[in-house]
Structure formats: C-alpha cells, structure tokens
Structure 1
Amino acid sequence: MAVTAPDTDPLTHDHVFLGAAHDENARRTRWVVALTGAMMVGEILAGWLTGSMALLADGFHMATHAGALTAAALAYAYARRHALNRRYSFGTGKVGDLAGFASAMVLGIMALGIAGESVVRLFEPVDVAFTEATWIAALGLAVNVASAFLLSGDLGHAHGHDQGHRHRHDHDDAHDRTHDHRAHRGHDNNLRAAYAHVLADALTSVLAIVALLAGRYLGWVWLDPVMGIVGGLVIGRWSWALMRDTAGVLLDTTDAAVAEEVRETVEGPGDARIVDLHVWRIGPEAHACIVSIAAPTLDAEAIRRRLAPVHEITHLTVEIRHAANLASA
C-alpha cells in the first residue's frame, strides 16, 4: 500500500522581515534624497565660489547625508524586490547594512579630504564672501529642518509584520526542533539613524553660520577653516561608527544583551541548560536565534513558549537534547 506524503503547505513560511512601514519609509527617504541632493550641490558650489571652507564642509557633510539616504533608498527597493527570493536564507533584512558599510568607506575618505584642505587654509587664508556664504548656509539649515520634518512623521511607530508562521519537526523522542516566526514590533532603525544624521547636519550648518558671522563682524577669519576641521571630524566619526556597526551586523556578531536574556529565560527555572546558543541580527528589527538545550522533561514547544517574551527574536530554532543522548552528542 502506497504511503501518502503529508500535506506540508500549512507549515511552510517565508523569511520576510520588512516592517509594516517599509514602503512609507522608502517614499519619505526618496523625497529627502531629492531635497538634500539639490541643496548639497548648491552649498558645495557656493562654498567653492565664496572660498568658505566651513560652507564646503557643510556641503560635503550634507553629501554624506544624501549618500547615506540614497543607499538607504536603494536598499529599501532591493529588499522589497527580493524579499521572497529563496537565495537569501534569512531574507533581505541586512541589505541596508551592506549599503551603509560601502558608503561609510567613501565618507571616511571624504572626511580626510575636508580636514586636510581646512588645515591648509588655516595657514594659508583665502578671501571669503561672508555675506553670500552665510545666506547659503542658512538655506542649508532650512533644508535640514525640512528633511527632519519629512523623516519624523510616524517615526518610532513602524511595526514589524506579524510573521505568525510556525514550522516544527519531531525527529525522534531524543531530539525536538521547532522553527518559529513570531509577531514582532519595533522601530525602523535605518530611518531612525537617517533622522539622527539630519539633526547632525543641522548642527554642522549652525557651526558654519557661526563661523561666517564671526568672520564678517569680528574679523575671526581663522574660525572658518577651524569649523571646516570640525566638520571633517564629525563626518569621520560618523563614518567610523557606521563602519563599525554595519560590519558587526554583516559578520553576524552575537547580540550579547539578547543572548543573555535568552540564557536567563531558558535556564531561570532550573530545569534546562543551554548547550549551544547563537543570536544575531537578520534585519533592522529582527534577530535570529538557534539554541540547543539539555532538558530531560521539556519539549521544543515548551521552550518556545518560555522564550515568547524575548520580543527581539523573530526567527527561532530550538533543539532539545535529552539526557540519554548527551553522551553520544
């Protein structure tokens, strides 16, 4: 008698970890890219024509902002287009980190160029058209404020998809595995980072305005290249931090805080011990967790329920190893 294979359709699931506000955030980002790109070109040209390094630094700093947002916009589009592509084992949630790492390297080189040119002009001053440069810097500040307004709508209220899929395999009475996709709510960290960078741009614009006004009314011409150096340092610090953070995500570094929470949650009652644990980020709002547990009296579903409060985990794989099998493990 032929054996009919079980129907697994109800157990299948995807690996889409895009937030509910993904498309809205992408649209906001595209608008800010267009607005900032236009202002960036204007500031750089004005800084070059007026001889203001502070204005040039502000323009290039705005370029870092425009570049980062452009990468984010492209990442949004690529992640959406390939969200169901099975080539990506854990979805496309890390595309933004890849784009961020690449842009950070370019921004670091740009920061060195700005700081170097500012040092040269500190010792070899050039004439600066303070009035015209001040008006351009003020316009740049207005663009930064407008960009912040565009990005702040619904910021912090984006929620993840209800993944709601569960897939379980019971291999034998010694090993149970459960594959779980739970509902997750959180922030779009890429959008939050873009918003914070807009605020940093606004601060740089304020520094440029201060330097230009001081040069015009107090004769402190030296303050303009000094602010250029400060702008270069700000860009360099931001690019280094971005490279460090995105590299950690791309290399699947362990999220120590979430891993510790998992360990305390599983081992707290005293009836289970973790044998092996891996926790890493797979998207802006999502973490994956693979945990192997020695628990003689528990099954995988019990561990899954126990870990339900750890909301950072959106993709959970549990292996139960009973005492009889530990010696052969």
Structure 2
Amino acid sequence: MQDDNSIQWDHSHDFGIDNKHRENKVKIVFWLTTIIMVLEITVGTTSGSMALLADGWHMGTHSAAFLITIFAYSYAKKHADNKSFSFGTGKVNYLGGFASAVALAIVALMMAIESVQRLIEPQVILFNEAIIVAIIGLVVNIVSVFVLHDDHHHHGEEHDHHHDHNMKAAYFHVLADTLTSLLAIIALLTGKYYGWIWMDAVMGIVGAAVILRWSYGLIKESSNVLLDKTVSPNSFANIAKNMKEENNAIINDIHIWKVGTSHQAAILSVVTEEPLEPYFYKRILKQHLPRLSHISIEVNVAAQ
C-alpha cells in the first residue's frame, strides 16, 4: 500500500527526548552490573555466602532490567519518525520504567522469601572471601550511582513531574544494588566478628522492604501516564471556568494526556454562541497547561 500524498504532516510527532547520552550511561552501568553479578554469584557459591549469592542474583535481575531500559531508548529512537505511532513513541520511556519497576518488585519478594529461609536455616559462610567481593560490588555500585546521578536529579523545572521514568527506573535499580551490597557487608561483618548469623536474614528483609517501596512508587507514577491519568480534576475545572468567562463557551469533550517526558496532547470540543478562531482556545489551554505540544480543537455553534 502506497503512502497517501494528500496527507500533509505539518508538524512532528516526535515527543521523545535526546536519549543518546542517557542510553550510553545505562550501557556502562549494565556492563559494570553484569561483571559484578558474575563475580558475586561465583564467589557466593564457592564460599557458601547466601547473602553474597542473593546479592549476585539480585544484580542479575537488574542487568535484565537495564536491557529493558536500553531497548526502550533504542525503540524510541528507531521509530521517532514512524507515522504509524499517532503521537510518537514518547511513552516508551514510561513503558520501560513500568517494566523495570515490576522487575524490581519481583526482586524484593525473592529477597524477602530467601531471607526468611535463611533465618530459619542459617548457613555456614566463608566470611573473608565473601566480604572482599561484597566490598568490590559496593564500590562498583557507588560508581554506577554517580554515572546516572546527574541525569536523574537535574532537570530544572521538570524535576518533580517531567523526568525520564526510564532513567529513574535505572537509577532506582542501581540504588537498590547499592543498598543490598551495603546490607550484605554489614551482615557479613557482624556474622564474622560477633557470630550474628541471623543478621544476614534480617538485613535481607529490611532491604526487600525498602526496594518494594521504591518499586511501588515508580509503578504508580508510570502507570498513571500509561493510563492517561496525568491531569487533575481541578485543572479541567479551571479550564472550563476560563472558557466560560472569556467566550461563554461550554466544554462538551476534553482529553488531555502525556505523550512524552515533558510533552502533553489535548483534544477539545467546545460549544458557544460566538465561535472564535481555534488559536483563542489554544491560548486558554496553554495558560493552564504550558507543556501542551499537540492540540486538536473543534468549535461548534450553539443552537439558537
């Protein structure tokens, strides 16, 4: 089927962000995480350290999550100009963030189950080998945190509500790895010097609880965007009030949703006795929602 040349694409639907430098940073962290994963699983198995082994598998799950993140960036870039995506591929970042958050929740549940098992059946551990590898893992995780830190925290005005959820998911994965590595070191040190083997299990449970909380927050934020729940009822009410005051226009249909990290789209239908040009209604919308990048407006004349 040939393209319909009668369709004039007078504007871009690429509402994504410049992800190249972010993608490169995630790739660096992916390889660092994967190398330490192999090291921790190997030494954890040979030393009998369940804490180190659990941390290794935990990092393995995060390696998979980083692959999801890399795929999301690559997919968005590849299909940025694909007209089959009506509003671009900006939401793929949220999809990647949601998938990573689900993986994070699974990791937390696995950690909790394994920790309870270790609490019931303590394991003999070769502490020296396990502690050395755990410290190496912590150092690498701290390096990874600094690699991703700037992109997660510095977005100017967009910091609170318009950050890249895909990058946020990757950043949380690294924080989770750092936390579990630190808890593993604490558990191993107290087990070695005080004989508190049970600390291994307790630290695992605490880490699982913190990770599950991070995961829940990220799932909630990203799912709101994926389900187009991004505008408060108060915003709709204020827009309707403004339309009524300036043109005696009544809104009979309005849809506003996010199409990218810092872009929104809107479809508006109004009824008024004195219809004005569409740009008038666009101006009112942008007064309340300055991040609107795509607006479709239908103006109907009220029946006399």
TM-score category (smaller protein):
0.7 to 0.9
Provide the residue aligned with 2:303 in structure 1.
324
Deviates more, 1:302-311 or 1:68-77: 302-311
After superposition, where does 1:178-189 map in structure 2 within 5 Å? 187-189=163-165
Higher relative contact order (CA 8 A, sep 6+): 1
The 8 Å contact of residues 29 and 147 in structure 2, kept in 1 or not, is answered as yes
How far off is 1:156 after superposition?
Answer: 5.0
Secondary structure at the counterpart of residue 291 of structure 1: strand
- Identity, % of aligned positions: 43
Gaps of 5+ in 1: 1-6, 160-184
Provide the residue aligned with 1:299 in structure 2.
277
Provide the residue aligned with 1:181 in structure 2.
none
How far off is 1:8 after superposition?
Answer: 7.8
- Letter of the 1:222 counterpart: W
- Letter of the 1:12 counterpart: D
Deviates more, 1:125-134 or 1:224-233: 224-233
The question of 1:14 aligning with 2:7 is answered no
How far off is 1:301 after superposition?
Answer: 0.7
- Letter of the 1:15 counterpart: H
How far off is 1:69 after superposition?
Answer: 2.0
- Counting helix residues as a fraction of each chain, which structure ranks higher? 2
Distance 1:236 1:154 in 2: 23
Provide the residue aligned with 1:178 in structure 2.
none
TM-score of the aligned structures, taking structure 2 as reference length: 0.82
The 8 Å contact of residues 254 and 268 in structure 2, kept in 1 or not, is answered as yes
Gaps of 5+ in 2: 1-5
Residues 186, 124 of structure 1: CA spacing in aligned structure 2 closer, same or farther, 3 A cutoff?
closer
The 8 Å contact of residues 40 and 133 in structure 2, kept in 1 or not, is answered as yes
TM-score of the aligned structures, taking structure 1 as reference length: 0.77
Residues 278, 223 of structure 1: CA spacing in aligned structure 2 closer, same or farther, 3 A cutoff?
same
The question of 1:194 aligning with 2:170 is answered yes
Provide the residue aligned with 2:294 in structure 1.
315
Distance 1:244 1:48 in 2: 36
The 8 Å contact of residues 278 and 290 in structure 1, kept in 2 or not, is answered as yes
Aligned residues: 290
Match of 1:43 among 21, 26, 40: 40
Distance 1:193 1:311 in 2: 26
Distance 1:217 1:98 in 2: 45
Match of 2:185 among 204, 209, 226: 209
Provide the residue aligned with 1:221 in structure 2.
197
| RMSD after superposition | 2.9
The 8 Å contact of residues 32 and 140 in structure 2, kept in 1 or not, is answered as yes
Distance 1:292 1:318 in 2: 6
Secondary structure at the counterpart of residue 295 of structure 2: strand
Provide the residue aligned with 2:3 in structure 1.
none
Residues 198, 109 of structure 1: CA spacing in aligned structure 2 closer, same or farther, 3 A cutoff?
closer
The 8 Å contact of residues 22 and 167 in structure 2, kept in 1 or not, is answered as yes
Distance 2:223 2:150 in 1: 29
Residues 38, 98 of structure 1: CA spacing in aligned structure 2 closer, same or farther, 3 A cutoff?
same
